[in-house]
Amino acid sequence: MNIRDVAKKAGVAPITVSRCINDSGYCSPEARIRIEAAISELGFVPNRLASGLRSKRTKTIALVVTDITNPFFTTIARAVEDTAGEAGYTVIFSNTDEDPLKEKKYIQMLLEQRVGGIILVPAQSTPDSASFIRQHETPIVILDRRIDNFKADFVRCDSEQGAYQLMSMLLSLGHRDIAILSGPVGVSTSEDRVAGCKRAISEAKAGNLNIQTFYGPFTQQSGYDMSIKVMAKHPRPTAIFAANNFIAIGALKALQAVNVRVPEDVAIVAFDDLPQALITFPFLTVASQPAYEMGKKAAEILLSKLSNENETGFQEIVLPAEIIIRQSSGSPVKP
């Protein structure tokens, strides 16, 4: 989409649109109203850089993540910056807090700055933001999560299989009363992890199962609140599956607050490891995502698209999680 599309929609000459957008010459009030209406209807993003750069993109890429405080995304950011830097690119980091409106605001800004390409961790599984980026002819790689009905390059970890392995472990240890604490509905990693748990449960064909599934934000507070609720149930679950590291940390804090021991009273397993540098005593049994490799691969795919503009076709890279068994999953449940 370009200035000519806006001019056609507004019924004015392209030069009038350019003067209006850049305030670089006369543009009648009537024309300005029609041009602004056309820009809004088309979702056009004006190019804010000097006209000399109009057709060129900057040697900058952007990484848009949902929670920059999460070590998983920090590791991804490190990998993207290392890979882009080696290729002579700089990286703009944006944090959306899982908020689709904030995501759209950042994407609008990045397109106006004419970034070369965008690596996006989408706040939702809908294609709105990714489609908006593509409409503005900007290369995109979707990282960590899936988007429905949108063809693109994807790099993610196999959430469904990793969750399947963790849940299968809990069932093989004899747990029958299990709480699944997941992230938000409408986010693929949250839903894929629940799906993996459910596949393990259906394959186990175990009797007298009591499985409770909860959804909430991927935050420590959510993990805490869900766990307090779960621990108040009777009978109390003997195991918890946490769909990411922050939910797991919140759950551990809640169990401690109600004097429930891990794993003696309740076993806990989680998606995502925590960087060893952050914890003195690795305790959690986890499905560890190859975060650095995911970030590196996403950056390599994007940079390859930038250097070969006629490169067509898309890749979907799905990397396995590594199951690391530690103390938190405990030993077999006494019958």
157: three-class secondary structure by DSSP: strand
Report how far residue 71's alpha carbon sits from residue 11's, in angstroms, rounded to the nearest whole number: 51
Residue 115: C-alpha distances to residues 44, 95, 145, 276 (Å): 16, 16, 22, 34
Nearer to ligand RIB by Cβ, of 47 and 66: the residue is 66
Q: How many residues bind ligand RIB (CB under 6 A)?
A: 10
Among 72, 89, 132, 214, binds ligand RIB (CB under 6 A): 72
Strand partners, 141: 119, 153
Q: Is 154 in the site for ligand RIB (CB under 6 A)?
A: no
Closest distance to ligand RIB from the beta carbon of 54 (Å) = 36
Q: Is 145 in the site for ligand RIB (CB under 6 A)?
A: yes
Let me know: does 128 contact 73? Beta carbons within 8 Å: no
Nearer to ligand RIB by Cβ, of 72 and 224: the residue is 72
Q: Is 245 in the site for ligand RIB (CB under 6 A)?
A: yes
Q: Where in 268-287 is the site for ligand RIB (CB under 6 A)?
A: 272
Binding-site string for ligand RIB from residue 163 to residue 202, where x marks contact by CB under 6 A and - marks none: --------------------x-----x-------------
Strand 285-288 to strand 153-157: parallel, antiparallel, or no bridges (unpaired)?
A: unpaired
Let me know: does 294 contact 155? Beta carbons within 8 Å: yes
Q: Is 328 in the site for ligand RIB (CB under 6 A)?
A: no
Closest distance to ligand RIB from the beta carbon of 274 (Å) = 10
Closest distance to ligand RIB from the beta carbon of 334 (Å) = 33
Which residue reads 């209406």 in tokens? 37
Q: Is 218 in the site for ligand RIB (CB under 6 A)?
A: yes
138: nearest Cα among 18, 37, 58, 42? 58
Chain residues binding ligand RIB by CB under 6 A are 70, 72, 144-145, 183, 189, 218, 244-245, 272
